[in-house]
Structure 1
Amino acid sequence: MKRRTALKFAAALALTTSLATGAVSAETIRIGAAAPKTGPLAGGAAVSQWPNVTLWAAQVNERGGINVGGTMMPVEIIEYDDQTNPGETIKAIQRLATQDQVHFIVSPYGTGLVVAAAPIFARYGYPLIAVSAITDQQPALSKQFPDMFFTLGTTSALAEDTVKILTDMRDAGQLGNKIAMVNVADAFGIELAGVARDRFTEAGFDIVYDTSYPLGTQDLSPVMKGAKAAAPDAFVAWSYPPDTFALTEQAIIEDLQVQAFYTAVATPFPAFGARFGTAANGVMGPGGVNVDDARFQDYATAHEAVTGVKPDFWASATTYASLEILEQAIEAVGLDRKAVADHLRTGTFDTVLGPISFDENNNNQAFWTVGQWQDGVFRGVASRNRDGAVPVILKDGWQ
């Protein structure tokens, strides 16, 4: 692992400016972050995770820091690459807690890495806003780790809303009854496929192809050839970023003709739309946003101005919102981690996505579940308690 103390220059600038007014202590709030910079999930973290840590820290320091009991304190980010390896995630969190002695730690990236790190967060008394963990185990996890909070929703919500969209399409005569489904064989993909399999069966769909592939698989052409041979009406993949791109590319190569095409993480990435152009039109995936919301537009503008890249249309804003939540909790109760965790349980937080609060299972109840590329923009088409969803369009070939 290599330690990087990012944004010190921004902290120093904010400190110099603030000292001129006599408003700031020299101490910084140390924020730890461990997520992939290498390995299979590095591409996803490079879009949804790291730029938002950079953006948030830069904005905090530009306005002089976080108000802690009347003292403005800048933030310092201490970063580690966990190499998409749960063992490295655990070691990085331990080092942040014991050697770097950071005040708070940002959630790791990806369901499997978050769940692996949860006991370490708990051992050292750090609240965990598990921004990129999607699981139906939230009640059990929040009971085992009372200071663990969830923002992106549950496995069942994502799978059920996807199945409902396809059911509505079928009932409207827009879609046949045959489903091809594949999944990456890690915690995220296995759990989503399990729920979706049951829901598709309950809805009367015929799952004509159902397979999984290991995380990091390079050649997915056999998977897509198998799906095409099954002659499905809809294709659904519970996938991670490298395979999301690879599966879509193989679908185009194989000329897979379906009325509905769904891939998971990375589908909302701007790079997906840029890479596939008009062929992306009609492709569905998890999440989405209300792109017409002024707050999202302001956030997206700032994101690109500070980081040089565009945010994605799902987890980027949620990751940023989790940092807004942490900032507001610190301003409310100070740097005591237990007090912050208690405030997370009871507070309502004003974020880029609107108000967020947590229920008895420490789960956010307002989130996007399904989005779709429509004329170059990935728009939300289904949500739980969020406004701005637009109607679904049919996938009309790969032109």
Structure 2
Amino acid sequence: MYRRTFTQLAAAAVALAAGAGMSLAQDTIRMGAAAPQTGPLAGGATVTHWPAVRLWVHQTNEAGGLQVGDRRMTIELVEYDDQTNPQQAIQAAQRLATQDQVDFMVAPYSTGMNLAAAPIFAQLGYPMITGTAVTDQQPALAQQFPNMFFVLGRTSVMAEDTAHVLVGMRDRGEIGNRVALVNVADAFGIEMAGISRGVLEENGFEIVYESSYPLGTQDLAPVIDGAKAATPDAFIAWSYPGDTFALTDQAIVQNFAPHVFFTAVATAFPGYAARFGDQIEGVMGMGGVNADDAAFQAFAEAHMEFAGQAPDYWASAATYATLEILGQAIEATGSIDRATVLAYLQDRSHEYETILGPVNFNENNDNERYWTVGQWQDGVFRGIAARGRDGAVAAELFDGWN
């Protein structure tokens, strides 16, 4: 069920500490992480979550660790596979806290897993800074779980900005009002589709086709068949990695090519471009980055060198940023006491310098500066809409599968 991994550098530090007769508590910070390594979301976590987490640990240890008061403390990483199963995510958090006695925990991967694990993180007193949860429940969650912080954005903002991109294209005479709207039937997809439907209709769009499908579904031919038959101007799918690839596969097979083709999570993955090549020029999706930003380019280079793969163009950097934030809070307090670090994070006056740029949290524990919509242009997934971030480029029409 479980797999434990200790970074090589941290293990070396442990051995040195033991040889010097020092206590591990004096020299290492034990960090726990549970996320999919198997199950439907393992592919996404393998791209977005695990490499970013391990890279931050590696770079932190290479730099000598975190400066905690008058000590340098390296990171020891303990990993578990939550199997894309909410109950396993909860059990893994409990085990990390009670058996492994980790000092801090990395937030899980995906909206659903974060929502499932939030009560146990709160009960155990661990700060929970998530870079992969997108939900409009953030105000309620922040009130219920004051230890929970959000970096990636809110559902309604993603839906609003997607609609605004369509409004701009319609105003330029590039598309009409007909939209096909589909979603994966989990917490993320259901919420995104519901809000998206309302925002689109408020802006005068007609939903001509609507469908949902279970998480893990690979045969999505009926969904694309139904959408194509409705002859939409735009196709919007609030999808997860497996279905993002499957929907695109079926759209190519059936030559379904509306002027807007939007799939959600994994559209920003380098593997998406590797799979479909030049055919995805003009495809839209969630997220994006300022691909010309020097900080992101340095992160991408380090990611490639360390993990042997490029980061995605959205939540990889957000996941990395959550650990930058936690590390800065630990150093600022000079403490690994969770209550002390949490109190620092809850102080709204603090701002954190991250790979994303400056991050600070409002009363909903929500960073209000993030990318919302991206598009593949000239082989790069570039941000075309954002809140509080610079570098967005203009949206382009999707001209069909080459």
**Is the structural similarity TM-score above 0.5?**
yes
TM range (shorter): over 0.9
| TM-score of the pair, normalised by structure 2 | 0.96
Q: Alpha-carbon deviation of 1:345?
A: 2.3
Q: How has the CA–CA distance of structure 1 residues 96 and 201 changed in structure 2, closer, same or farther, with 3 Å as cutoff?
A: same
Deviations 1:312-341 (A, max 9, x none): 000000000111001101101111111111
Q: Alpha-carbon deviation of 1:21?
A: 12
Q: Alpha-carbon deviation of 1:257?
A: 2.4
User: Is the contact made by 2:288 and 2:314 (CA closer than 8 Å) also made in structure 1?
Assistant: yes
Q: Report the Cα distance in structure 1 between the residues aligned to 2:63 and 2:297, rounded to whole angstroms.
A: 20
Deviations 1:74-105 (A, max 9, x none): 10100000000000000000000111110000
- Structure 1, unaligned runs of 5 or more: none
Q: Report the Cα distance in structure 1 between the residues aligned to 2:70 and 2:246, rounded to whole angstroms.
A: 51
Q: How has the CA–CA distance of structure 1 residues 331 and 19 changed in structure 2, closer, same or farther, with 3 Å as cutoff?
A: farther
Q: Alpha-carbon deviation of 1:146?
A: 0.6
Q: Alpha-carbon deviation of 1:15?
A: 6.4
Match of 2:9 in 1: 10
Match of 1:393 in 2: 396
Whichever residue aligns with residue 398 of structure 2, its letter is K
Matches within 5 A, 1:330-341: 330-333=330-333, 334-341=335-342
Q: Alpha-carbon deviation of 1:14?
A: 5.2
Deviations 1:346-374 (A, max 9, x none): 22101011110000000001000000000
Match of 2:357 in 1: 354
Q: Alpha-carbon deviation of 1:237?
A: 0.1
Match of 2:263 in 1: 263
User: Is the contact made by 1:14 and 1:64 (CA closer than 8 Å) also made in structure 2?
Assistant: no
Aligned-partner SS, 1:4:
coil
State whether structure 2 residue 234 is matched by structure 1 residue 231. no
Matches within 5 A, 1:63-74: 63-74=63-74
**Which range moves more in the overlay, 383-392 or 24-33?**
24-33
| TM-score of the pair, normalised by structure 1 | 0.97
Match of 2:383 in 1: 380
Match of 2:52 in 1: 52
Match of 1:172 in 2: 172
Q: Report the Cα distance in structure 1 between the residues aligned to 2:170 and 2:288, rounded to whole angstroms.
A: 22
User: Is the contact made by 2:14 and 2:28 (CA closer than 8 Å) also made in structure 1?
Assistant: no
Match of 1:342 in 2: 343
User: Is the contact made by 1:23 and 1:72 (CA closer than 8 Å) also made in structure 2?
Assistant: no
Match of 2:148 in 1: 148
Q: Alpha-carbon deviation of 1:294?
A: 0.5
> RMSD in angstroms over aligned alpha carbons?
1.8
Q: Report the Cα distance in structure 2 between the residues aligned to 1:32 and 1:328, rounded to whole angstroms.
A: 18
Q: Alpha-carbon deviation of 1:342?
A: 1.6
Q: How has the CA–CA distance of structure 1 residues 21 and 93 changed in structure 2, closer, same or farther, with 3 Å as cutoff?
A: closer
Q: How has the CA–CA distance of structure 1 residues 379 and 4 changed in structure 2, closer, same or farther, with 3 Å as cutoff?
A: same
Matches within 5 A, 1:106-145: 106-145=106-145
Whichever residue aligns with residue 141 of structure 2, its letter is L
Q: Report the Cα distance in structure 1 between the residues aligned to 2:68 and 2:116, rounded to whole angstroms.
A: 31
User: Is the contact made by 2:47 and 2:312 (CA closer than 8 Å) also made in structure 1?
Assistant: yes
Whichever residue aligns with residue 261 of structure 1, its letter is F
Q: Alpha-carbon deviation of 1:19?
A: 11
User: Is the contact made by 1:240 and 1:265 (CA closer than 8 Å) also made in structure 2?
Assistant: yes
Q: Report the Cα distance in structure 2 between the residues aligned to 1:220 and 1:385, rounded to whole angstroms.
A: 36
